Amino acid sequence: MGSGKSKKQYIMKKSLFIALEGIDGCGKSTQAALLSKTLEKWGHKVYSTFEPTDSAIGRMIRDIFSYRLEADHRVIAGLFVADRLEHILNKQHGLLQKRKEGYTIITDRYYLSSYAYQGAHMPMGWVMEANALSAQLLSPDLHIYINISPATGLGRISAGRPATELFETKENLQKVHQAYQEAIDKIKDKEHIFITNGERPPEKVAEDIRKAVWRLL
Nearer to ligand TYD, 49 or 196 (CB): 49
The CA-atom distances, in angstroms, between 184 and each of 27, 51, 125, 177 are 19, 19, 13, 11
Nearer to ligand TYD, 11 or 84 (CB): 84
Burial letters 158-195, b for 16+ CB under 10 A, else e: eeeeeeeeebbeeebbbbbbebbeebbeebeeebebbb
The CA-atom distances, in angstroms, between 126 and each of 64, 92, 190 are 21, 30, 18
Nearer to ligand TYD, 71 or 217 (CB): 71
CB of 93 to ligand TYD, least distance (A): 17
Nearer to ligand TYD, 7 or 169 (CB): 169
104 three-class SS: strand
Closest residue to bound ligand TYD by CB: 117
User: For residue 99, which of 87, 111, 108, 109 has the smallest C-alpha distance?
Assistant: 87
Nearer to ligand TYD, 11 or 173 (CB): 173
CB of 57 to ligand TYD, least distance (A): 12
CB of 167 to ligand TYD, least distance (A): 4
CB of 207 to ligand TYD, least distance (A): 23
CB of 200 to ligand TYD, least distance (A): 20
Beta carbons of 106 and 36 less than 8 angstroms apart: yes
Name the residues that contact ligand TYD, by CB under 6 A: 24, 51-52, 65, 80, 108-109, 113-114, 117-118, 167
Which residues face 143 on adjacent strands? Answer: 19, 193
